[in-house]
Chain A
Amino acid sequence: MSNKQPQVHELTMVEAVNLALRRALNDDENVVILGEDVGTNGGVFRATEGLKQDFGFKRVMDTPLAESMIAGMSVGMATQGMRPVAEIQFMGFIFAAFEQIVCHAARMRNRTRGRLQCPLVIRAPFGGGIQAPEHHSESTEALFAHIPGLKVVIPSSPTRAYGLLLSAIASNDPVVFLEPKRIYRMIRHRVTDHGQGLPLDTCFTLKQGSDVTLVSWGAMVHETLQAARKLEADGISAEVIDVATISPLDFETIRRSVRHTGRCVIIQEAARNGGVASEISARIGESCLPWMKAPVQRVTGFDATMPYPRHEHLYMPTTDDIVAAARQTLEGI
């Protein structure tokens, strides 16, 4: 470690991602970045901007346009001790890589009884709300959360993007790291470039409260925090939990909060059926029922294909939807 004070930057989330990648490349020569357009262009969202110029093609690789290959070669590299950080340009295109992620990355340790491990990170911008073309707005995180062996991490702020990404890269397990692109440039935070990761095994309680627990992740954390403020103005105290690592899930933090408040609203942008909210809700049902003062509510997208931009605003959950759901839990059944 150098004696220099760590630098503090006012960063957007995408800039924090870039800073974490830069730090990881700098600190560990086994870290490499690969994907479509990640090199000279710096990624379509500029998450990898300047990295190829500073670290060279051998560390920051523009690959041919082939998602299965990007994931498959990452698996191969990871088994030999490298730490590939692959970018899939949009989550809507990750399905060509799904087989490699699910059948190989997720299972390498188990298949080989730990002889080989697969310390890779697959980064992908995800989520709606930016009026993008089809296949650019999906929130299919539950597909990955369902797969044993994968960690699924979703930051909701520049600080957490920096810390969680560093931990994802340091993790000896494969991580699907989903970046909510709607908030890539929405907020700026002071991010300290100290090289310290944030834990991947805990939820973050962003606000303490006693009347209702609001649980969310990714971009929806912002609507959730706004909702908590609105509720606060009306004298309702909401606890806000950012799940951040949706798999493996730190249910203990949620359980403790829900047992305290007796009410819970889970907010996800993804479709309702079979989502992460369903899992959290089920676990609350299994272990918190005697503490509950009202049924768990979910605020979610619809069980529909993400609509094209003209109807996208009707799909996305809003602050008012969350406030209404929270009020419903307070009004009882």
Chain B
Amino acid sequence: MSRQHDFDWLRLAYRHMVTIRALDKKAVALQRTGQMRTYPSSLGQEAVGIGIGMAMQDKDVYAPYYRDQATLYLRGVRLSQILQLWGGDERGHLFEGPAARDLPICVPIATQLTQAAGVAVALKSRHEKQAVVTSCGDGATSRGDFYEALNLAGLWQLPLVTVINNNQWAISVPRHLQTGTETLSQKAVAAGIEGIQVDGNDVAAVHDAVSAALEKARSGKGATLIEAVTYRLGDHTTADDATRYRDKQQVSDAWQNEPIKRLQTWLHDNNEWSAGQEQALQKEVQQLIEKAVTDYLAAEAQPVDEFLQFQYEKMTPALLEQQALIKARSEQGRDNS
């Protein structure tokens, strides 16, 4: 682990990662019992999201992709809101606090990168000494928006940090069928920016890389591409079955290197973590998650016509007409299960 990180920092990172893993586990369980919609677990890649989140300052701006609940959590998005989002309620996107200016999670692939570049242009043109972090999966590196954003970031020296969460899989397509390049970070060369590869299962390494890139960005020295190498231990989403396309042995090998157990072992080996501490943490996290679930399930229902209200700043005559139809449908007691 890095010399920059004392044991208190590492214990905090560990706590965050354990929290996110517990949230994931609960979300999947809720989905299996019909209380959650399709959910993309971040099982195995908690170190990337937590490393990014702990490196960012509140005033920076974040442009996440859809598997970034760990970073969102550290940006101040409530765990219950993350559940709300994947539970089918747009109000999960009512980010507050440090995340108030952050972009919403992005489901189309790589489109958040060009948007993040635009955010960086806005910050730079206003001489705001802050930076933008965006993240994507390895599959996103095949798309035009990935190259177009990096190209602009290099050309205009934008305060942009792009983190590729290289979890080896774009649903069923492995990394080696995605690109002919040896690494994903080397794609930075074509954009004229720095590209680095880090161990994405080492939360301190991710944190160091992102911190350095952010410092560089904030001081006007331009963009960085960081490839965090990790492994998606779970399915792509709850609608996926990864046993259809991947080798059991590979997955069990990956479990040997997963970020949470690895950090726990390190702390334990340095006499900085005990079974008692672990037990206390698990209990505490469990309570946190239960509270999030309670809040999520107790959230007041969205008004039935709310999805008409945010299409435009003001309701149009056509939408006002259609509002009556929605109300009538709702009053007929249509089932939404």
Contacts and interface: CB of A to CB of B under 8 A. Distances in A.
Contacts of A76: 63, 103, 114-122
B239 interface: no
Nearest to B95: A115
B118 A72 contact: yes
B118 A109 contact: no
Given A69-B114, A73-B115, A115 B93 contact: yes
Nearest to A58: B125
Interface in B104-121: 104, 106, 108, 111, 113-121
A248 B91 CA distance: 25
B245 interface: no
Interface in B100-143: 100-101, 103-104, 106, 108, 111, 113-123, 125
A249 B318 CA distance: 8
Contact of B111 (A72, A111, A171): A72
Contact of B122 (A80, A117, A252): A80
A32 B156 CA distance: 16
A32 B121 CA distance: 11
B310 A113 contact: yes
Given A66-B151, A79-B115, A173-B313, A112 B307 contact: no
B114 A68 contact: yes
A97 to B, nearest CB: 10
A71 B316 CA distance: 25
B333 interface: no
B121 A115 contact: no
Interface string B221-233: 0000000000000
Interface in A62-83: 63-64, 66, 68-69, 71-82
Interface in A238-279: 248-252
Interface stretch (A3-11, A98-106, A152-160, A294-302): A98-106
Contacts of B119: 76-77, 79-80
Interface in A154-182: 171-173
B123 A64 contact: no
Contacts of B95: 112, 115
Nearest to B151: A64
A111 B90 contact: yes
Contacts of B111: 68, 72, 99-100, 103-104
B155 interface: yes
User: What is the interface residue range for chain B against chain A?
Assistant: 35 or more
A66 to B, nearest CB: 4
Contacts of B106: 104
B311 interface: yes
Contacts of A66: 144, 148, 151-152
Nearest to B318: A248
A77 B93 contact: no
Contacts of B316: 201, 248
A116 interface: yes
Interface in A84-106: 84, 96, 99-100, 103-104
A210 interface: no
Contact of B91 (A72, A81, A113): A113
Contact of B149 (A69, A79, A171, A250): A69
Nearest to B321: A251
B89 to A, nearest CB: 10
A127 interface: no
A54 to B, nearest CB: 17
A80 B101 contact: yes
Nearest to A75: B115
A172 B155 CA distance: 30
A78 to B, nearest CB: 8
A290 interface: no
Interface string A42-55: 00000000000000
A65 to B, nearest CB: 10
A71 B113 CA distance: 12
A133 interface: no
B115 A104 contact: yes
A285 interface: no
B310 A80 contact: no
A173 B94 contact: no
B91 A64 contact: no
Contacts of A63: 152
A73 B152 contact: yes
A311 B310 CA distance: 44
Contacts of A80: 61, 101, 118-119, 122-123
Contacts of A75: 114-115, 118
Contact of B148 (A72, A79, A149): A72
Interface string B3-40: 00000000000000000000000000000000000000
Contacts of B155: 64
Contact of A69 (B90, B94, B117, B125): B117
Contacts of B118: 72-80, 84
B318 A72 contact: no
- Per CB-CB distance, the 7 closest pairs between chain A and chain B, nearest first, are A76-B118, A72-B114, A73-B118, A69-B148, A76-B115, A248-B316, A80-B122
Given A69-B151, A110-B310, 11 more contacts: A72-B111, A73-B114, A76-B115, A77-B118, A77-B121, A79-B103, A79-B118, A115-B94, A149-B311, A248-B316, A251-B317
Interface of A: 32, 58, 63-64, 66, 68-69, 71-82, 84, 96, 99-100, 103-104, 108-117, 148-149, 151, 171-173, 201, 248-252
Interface of B: 61, 63, 90-91, 93-95, 100-101, 103-104, 106, 108, 111, 113-123, 125, 144-145, 148-149, 151-152, 155, 306-307, 310-313, 316-319
19 contacts: A66-B144, A68-B114, A69-B148, A72-B111, A73-B117, A73-B152, A79-B118, A80-B122, A84-B118, A100-B111, A100-B115, A108-B104, A112-B94, A112-B95, A113-B310, A116-B104, A172-B313, A173-B313, A248-B312
